[in-house]
Amino acid sequence: MAQHFQRLCGLARKAITGYDMIQDGDKICVGVSGGKDSVALALTLRKLQSYMNVKFDMVAVTLDLGFKGQQTDYSSLEKLFAEHGIETRRTKLYVGDYTLPTDQSVCIDTKKDIQELVSDICGKQHERFRNECIRAQEAGIRLIILTENRGGHIKNNIIQPTITSLAELHRWKNPRLFIFCGGKQKYPRATRGVTLQKACTTLKAKYGVEFLFTTPEKSAEKIVELLTGEENGKST
């Protein structure tokens, strides 16, 4: 085990120095779920602190998702980190998928595609999604729904546009509308872009939730911009 950990530390050091990933004086926040990957990363960085030329601080942060209204038990993880001298913090994630542990005034809820957005707003997840919007509004949180999408062919010569803003959402074509069985539409009542746009506009007006759109390639960059206040005011 020690030999494998030593090799992991060597590879991490090589990557950090090779790509100039850490600067003197940096404070690194490691998001820890309790899984092997995040725990290994935290332990590796702690080990590197002891012999790398670059001097940096680090803190391990866990987000308590409050499943079933109960606090997650991180006691064994906190004990492990304490034994290795790793500073730990625990914070509750009120809404969304991403936020800053020290400032949850902005929370981002990500959607892998517009079809997932349809499910949350016009489908079976509507009540859960609406309750999340209400929680954010009551807590004074700026809730941003960031939806990934990329245009392309749906079927034959039917083209799906890349949606870049709420104003363009009416142009979205639900792929389910182009599924046919025996010459007839299999899902003729599938949500259309114009319907989804109206629903999003209503939620925005009622609860203050924002709807932004991006491509999968730019999603991570956009999340960082939104959380750090470096956004340029335009969705990408």
> What single letter denotes the amino acid at residue 205?
A
**Domain parsing of the chain, residue ranges:** 1-92, 96-236
Q: What CATH number should be reported for the domain whose range is 96-236? A: 3.40.50
Token pair in block for residue 120: 């949350």
Residue 235 scores a pLDDT above 50? no
What pLDDT, on the 0 to 100 scale, is given for residue 231?
Answer: 63
Q: Tens digits of per-residue pLDDT, 20-58?
A: 999 999 999 998 988 999 999 999 999 999 999 999 999
169-191 burial: b if 16+ Cβ within 10 Å, else e: beebbbbebbeeeeeeeeeeebb
Q: What is the mean pLDDT of residues 189-209?
A: 97
Q: What is the mean pLDDT of residues 179-197?
A: 95
Q: Give the CATH fold of the 1-92 domain.
A: Rossmann fold (3.40.50)
124 versus 92: which is more confidently predicted? Answer: 124
Question: How many Å apart are CA 77 and CA 193, to the nearest integer?
Answer: 45
Residue 233 scores a pLDDT above 90? no
What pLDDT, on the 0 to 100 scale, is given for residue 181?
Answer: 93
Q: Tens digits of per-residue pLDDT, 69-98?
A: 566 788 899 999 999 999 998 877 778 988
What pLDDT, on the 0 to 100 scale, is given for residue 91?
Answer: 79
Token pair in block for residue 185: 């539409």
What pLDDT, on the 0 to 100 scale, is given for residue 234?
Answer: 45
**Is 96-236 in the same CATH topology as 1-92?**
yes
What pLDDT, on the 0 to 100 scale, is given for residue 8?
Answer: 96
The three-state (H, E, C) secondary structure of the chain, written as one string: CHHHHHHHHHHHHHHHHHCCCCCCCCEEEEECCCCHHHHHHHHHHHHHHCCCCCCCEEEEEEEECCHHHCCCCCHHHHHHHHHCCCEEEEEECCCCCEEECCEEEEEEEEECCHHHHHHHHHCCCHHHHHHHHHHHHHHCCEEEEEEECCCEEEECCEEECCCCCHHHHHHCCCHHHHCEECCEECCCCCCCHHHHHHHHHHHHHHHCCEEEEECHHHHHHHHHHHHHCCCCCCCC
Q: Tens digits of per-residue pLDDT, 145-174?
A: 999 999 888 776 789 999 999 999 999 999
What pLDDT, on the 0 to 100 scale, is given for residue 67?
Answer: 54
Q: Structure pTM?
A: 0.69
